[in-house]
Amino acid sequence: YVPVKKPKHTTTTTEVPKPWLRTISSTIKEIVTPTVIAGVTFSAKPLETPDPLQPWISLKKDGTPQTIKPEIKKGRTVKASPDYSTYFKTAYTTTYSYEDLQAHNMDADEHLEEEVFVDEDSTYISLNPVIRCTPDTYFKKGIARDISSEPFCTPRENSVLKVDHTYFVTWYTRFFRDEVTEETIDQVRLHLFAVKEKAHDKGFKR
């Protein structure tokens, strides 16, 4: 005799995140409507007092979200939200002359070329709590695992996507660039194509 285990009573909220107002570009006001997709709230209103241990959303190999809560252990932050290095920054080369710098170890006709990284416009990026795809998180695909998955990070190859589940497809936003202007492409589209399988590709008998 096995007693029936009843699921624990969980408190769920039916409260819909309310729209909020923000000011972008110092003058333009915008109403932001939060949306909840697969349990992840996008465009949520930032906290009044920023929390350094604010949970963030990571993605499993198949693209399902999982919440990561940063912790402080021995004075160091563990599982902190990811650092994207310079992947989303724009590099500019600035040339300084001797007149600009007046450095004591610089000749009068010498020029200094310095690479400066400028952060991207975070107007819309900041509303996304999910980990972003960078070339660091590419994986290897193919039978020999020798082909880069660029521009995708999730889902991994041969992931099983189950019906009625939501999976986040992520790609590196700066992968597609205009050949002439070198600017990032504005819009992309995803497609799913049917693959013709051979008998031995169809897997095990069930």
Partner 1 sequence: NLNAAFFSSEWLKNVDGLYPLEVSEDWLDGKYERKALLAIQPRSIPDDEFNPLEYGLLVEVSLGSRVFKNTKEQLALQDEGITDESWYYVAMTMPTIVLFACVAMYFFLYLSKDTRDVSDVKRYALGQKRRVLGKLKDMKKFKGMKNHAYNELPTYRKNSKQS
Tell me which residues touch partner 1 (CB under 8 A): 4, 6-7, 37-38, 63, 124-125, 128, 130, 132-133, 141, 149-152, 155, 157-173, 176, 178-179, 184-195, 197, 201, 203, 206
How near is the Cβ of 116 to partner 1 at its closest, in Å?
A: 22
What tokens does 108 get?
């009068």
The closest of 155, 83, 88, 168 to 124, measured between CA atoms, is: 88
Cα separation, 153 vs 169, whole angstroms: 8
When the beta carbons of 20 and 88 are compared against partner 1, the nearer one is 88
- Minimum Å gap between C-beta 177 and partner 1 is 9
- The nearest distance, CB 53 to partner 1, in angstroms, is 23
Is the Cβ of residue 31 or residue 180 nearer to partner 1 in the bound state?
Answer: 180
Task: Give the 3-state secondary structure of residue 25.
Answer: coil
**DSSP letters along 109-142, please?**
T-EEEEEEEEPPP-TTGGG--BPPP-GGG--EET
Question: Which of residues 16 and 38 has its CB atom nearest to partner 1 in the complex?
Answer: 38
User: 74 vs 162, which CB is nearer to partner 1?
Assistant: 162
Least Å from the CB of residue 102 to partner 1? 40
Alpha carbon of 108 to those of 33, 97, 115, 118, 178: distances in Å?
Answer: 56, 8, 21, 29, 39
Residues 137, 43: contact at Cβ < 8 Å?
no
Q: Which of 66/97 has CB closer to partner 1?
A: 66
Least distance (Å) between residue 38 CB and partner 1: 6
State the sign of the Cα–Cα–Cα–Cα dihedral 49, 21, 171, 203: positive
